[in-house]
Amino acid sequence: MPIQLDRNIEAVRLEMSDVRQPIDDEWQEEMKRRDYLISNRLNNSSVTIGQLFDKALEKAQRGARKCTTEAAKAEYIRRHANIVGVVGPPGVGKTTLSKMMVNQILKHEFLPDTEFPFFINVKDIDFNTKMTLLEFLTTNSRVKVNYTEEESKALITFLHNNPNVAIFFDGLDEASTKEFAMISHVCKLDGKSKPVDIMKNLFNFTLLPKAKIVVTSRPGPMYKLHPDYRPNSIFEVLGLLEEAKNNLGTQLCGEKYPAIKKILDQQPNLAHLCYLPINFILIVFCLLSNEGSDIKTMTQVLIFSMTRFVESSHLTGEVPLDSVGAEMVKLARLAYKGLQQRKLVFEKSDFDDVKLADEMVTNFFHTYVDKSSGLRMKILEGNKRSYFTHLTWQEFYAAVYLMLFVSYREFKQLKSIFKDTQWSVVVKFMFGICNPHAYKQLKLIFPAKTIKDYEEKKNFMESMMMESLRSARDEDLIRRFGWLHEYNDDETSRKFEDCLPVELYMDVPKHLPEVGDIVYTLKSFTKPHKLVLDSYNTTTEVLESLLCGIHGTTTTITRLTIDNIKMKDSLMESLLLHLDAMEVLYFSDVTNLSPYMESLSNAINQRSNKIQLLLWGHQLNDDDVIYLAGCLGNISLLDMRDTYISSDQCRVLKQGIQKLPSIQDFELTTNDATGDVKKLVKWFRRYKRSTNPERRSRRKCNIL
């Protein structure tokens, strides 16, 4: 950590919630079926560590309903109730969370019956060496065992039938293999197999069928895991909410934290980055120094932290000043080579290949002894293995190497890998290094005479950002907004806007840092744009922050879908800021909407034109229907799919419809096969036909 502490940090809450998995291609059509969607609908509710497997069991029991026999139901539940995935962006705290789970197991606070916990860092696994299941578990969790062959077979047989085994795989995205997307053969309990096959056989419970398994990963690699092995229940670590940030900030900064918080409150884009714990710690470190008060991007934060460290006594006392720059180039090269080879754990031979000084390893890497009963400490003897103190740092140094030291010819040939999700963080930092000020700072550390083709590579990155921009939407559009934010250059923002279409389509992101990217981009625009926004799988806090951030920009939200969200005062207030410009407002399974129907009705009545209102999956009370009937005059379409109303409430809506000055400018629809809403729609269609002036005129002509 960059901040020196004289005491232990007390735990603060990391927010975690259910997530809906992306759709596999082969299930696209199936997912369109209404009953499938309803059975898999989640409420993005907050989840604690102790609830993980309870939630997985609930979901498995719901999924088992489609099984035709009791045996099949039991097998389905066994397969899906005992494994959970935990995903989140880099630096959100997935490793910390998984270690806390193990800590709670040891205290009998989580999975209290567990007798055999195994904690495995996936980046430590040698995927090239075949081994038995017992060797895999003990070697990779650094447990020393000296059993005979017979004892080993007896032990693995005992574990195979034991329900009190818990295995934690931390960092699936850090695996040095891409074979997780493929089907695997069935492993024998005492046979030797490749580690990737052993893991997949554990994931589908061919091996250790009664164990509990937790797998953490960045989202992309988790969802690339073949569906036969991917956990059915996946939870997302969202990061630090305001209370947790304040708690951690106070512990880090003491009495200086109120001043730091004031700076963050004045810079929302920077505050959004603090949602992730590693970002928060690094940003607070920067803000504690007056030199760090004008930072706007994570590239700037890392450059600042690196510069301060390189100039500090930690390094200058060990590495000669005139050698620091050359050694930093070697460090960057190693970082890049490691990512290119999917290698995150390094040995002495790797350092020797780039001729990196031992002092650099001591200062920039975390080193431990291989197979040393779990001890992780800097040591002098033994088979040492090392890795960067956080993957984010390796990705940053790799970006530096690509932008500064790779030739343009080689750089162009790497374009295909830049589209791989494994390189998404590296690419974002590469755009940050395109910023002229960031480049100037890096030249103070890295020898300027060794820099190659920077301007050509910068132009290449700009063209990649603008490429096919008119067809970009959803995640692709948000990713490019992130590139532009990290670039942080006014002239480039103007070029970017010129390449965009007027109408933009986007899903609300899951995390506040992405909200910061969107808001930064939209605030840089000078021309009007129309935004179609869908909150398919996000949280109330993220949606509210995005709506507040967009307000006051030249961008208007023309269609807003609020899906599976709990309404609250501040969210409704931020929604009403945009209501006058909306053409379509769509509520789907929104909870706690009733307290806000009056203010929503009043706002609709105050509009200068009509709006389409979709209310799907609601149960309206009497007051809700009264407020709804009161604003029908400013609604062109009312869609009430899967919405329940009583016969008395139907009469209230009928009266509201009959009072409309022009029934031909209003449409009512539903998909219900039965119920009072269906009867209301049938009545409406008859009533609309009977009051149609053209129909009356035709009838009069026929009579004449």
Torsion of CA 586, 591, 595, 597, to 10 degrees: 20
> Mean of the pLDDT values across residues 414-433?
91
**Gyration radius from the chain CA atoms:** 29
* pLDDT value at residue 375: 46
User: How high is the pLDDT of residue 148?
Assistant: 80
Buried b / exposed e along 309-328 (16+ C-beta atoms within 10 A):
ebeeeebeeebeeeebbbbb
Cα distance between residue 38 and residue 617, in whole Å: 10
Task: Determine the pLDDT at residue 537.
Answer: 76
- Report which of 585, 686, 599, 573 is spatially closest to residue 639, judged by C-alpha positions: 585
Spatial separation of the C-alpha atoms in residues 330 and 401, rounded to whole Å: 9
Residue 702 has pLDDT above 60, yes or no: no
DSSP state of 235: E
> For all residues of the chain together, what is the average pLDDT?
87
The pLDDT score that the predictor gives to residue 47 is: 87
Q: Angle, nearest 10°, between helix axes 474-487 and 424-434?
A: 40
Give the residue-averaged pLDDT of 516-539.
Answer: 92
pLDDT for 372: 45
| Res. 5 pLDDT band, cuts 50 70 90 | low
Position 673 pLDDT exceeds 80 = no
Residue type, 351: F
Using the predicted structure, report yes or no on whether residue 643 has a pLDDT greater than 90.
no
Supply the pLDDT for residue 374: 44
Residue 424, SS3? helix
Contact 225, 181 (CB under 8 A): yes
Average pLDDT of the segment spanning 503-526: 92
Element (H, E) at 35: helix 34-39
Give the whole-number percent of the chain exceeding pLDDT 90: 54
CB within 8 A of 167, min separation 6: which ones?
117, 118, 120, 137, 202, 208, 211, 212, 213, 214
User: 569-576 and 540-550 helices cross at what angle (nearest 10)?
Assistant: 30
The answer, yes or no, to whether residue 443 has pLDDT greater than 50, is yes
Higher per-residue confidence, 44 vs 224: 224
Average pLDDT over residues 672-688: 82
Mean pLDDT across 506-515:
90
Q: What is d(CA 543, CA 532) in angstroms, rounded to the nearest whole number? A: 14
* Tens-digit pLDDT profile for residues 312-364: 776 766 777 778 899 999 999 999 999 998 888 899 999 999 999 988 998 89
**For residue 501, what pLDDT is reported?**
93
pLDDT confidence tier of residue 389, bands split at 50, 70 and 90: confident
Residue 1 has pLDDT above 70, yes or no: no
pLDDT attached to residue 42: 46
User: What pLDDT was estimated at residue 144?
Assistant: 67
Q: Percent of the chain scored above 70 by pLDDT?
A: 89
pLDDT recorded at residue 428: 96
pLDDT category at 39 given cuts 50, 70, 90 is very low
List of residues 6+ apart from 237 with CB closer than 8 A: 14, 15, 16, 86, 87, 88, 92, 93, 94, 97
Query: Per-residue pLDDT averaged across 413-438, rounded?
Result: 92
pLDDT of residue 223: 86
Query: How would residue 453 be classed by pLDDT, with cut points 50, 70 and 90?
Result: very high
Q: What average pLDDT does range 415-431 have in this prediction?
A: 91
pLDDT at 688: 86
What would the pLDDT profile of 46-65 be if each residue is shown by its tens digit? Answer: 888 899 999 999 999 998 98
- Reading phi first (left if > 0) and then psi (alpha if -120 to 50, else beta), residue 111 is in left
pLDDT of residue 35: 37
Residues with Cβ within 8 Å of residue 644, at least 6 apart in sequence: 618, 619, 620, 675, 676, 677
Q: What CA–CA distance (Å, rounded) separates 649 from 644? A: 10
Concatenating the DSSP letter of every residue in 618-664 gives: -B--HHHHHHHHHTGGGEEEEE-TT-B--HHHHHHHHHHHHT-S-GG
- Confidence class of residue 370 from pLDDT cuts 50, 70 and 90? low
Per the model's pLDDT, the better-predicted residue between 665 and 702 turns out to be 665
pLDDT of 690 above 80: yes
Cα 440 to its chain centre, rounded Å, is: 32
Q: What is the pLDDT of residue 645?
A: 85
| pLDDT at 379 exceeding the cut of 80 | no
Mean pLDDT, residues 678-693 taken together: 85
Q: Using alpha carbons, select from 266, 283, 287 the residue that is nearest to residue 275.
A: 283
Taking the C-alpha atoms of residue 570 and residue 595, their distance in angstroms, rounded to an integer, is 13
Query: Mapping DSSP to helix (H, G, I), strand (E, B) and coil, where does residue 561 land?
Result: strand
Cβ of 296: how many Cβ atoms within 10 Å?
A: 17
By residue count, the chain amounts to 704
CB-facing half-sphere around the CA of 262: CA atoms within 13 A: 6
- DSSP secondary structure letter of residue 10: P
H-helix segments, 435-535: 436-445, 454-466, 474-487, 490-499, 512-524
What tokens were used for 410?
């080689």
| Structure confidence at residue 3 (pLDDT) | 56
Question: For residues 170 and 122, is the Cβ–Cβ distance under 8 A?
Answer: yes
What one-character DSSP code corresponds to residue 193?
Answer: B
Contact yes or no for 440/473 (Cβ under 8 A): no
The Cα 104–Cα 111 span in angstroms is 8
Higher pLDDT, 398 or 242: 398
Q: Output the pLDDT for position 250.
A: 92
- The Cα–Cα gap between 398 and 401 comes to 5
Query: Comparing C-alpha atoms, which of 498, 501, 546, 495 is closest to residue 520?
Result: 546
Mean pLDDT of 677-704: 72
pLDDT at 101 over 80: yes
Q: What is the pLDDT of residues 153-169, one digit of tens each?
A: 888 889 998 999 999 99
Check residue 32 and report its DSSP letter.
T
Query: pLDDT digit string (tens) for 246-280?
Result: 999 999 888 999 999 998 888 887 888 898 888 99
C-alpha 550/C-alpha 547 separation (Å) is 5
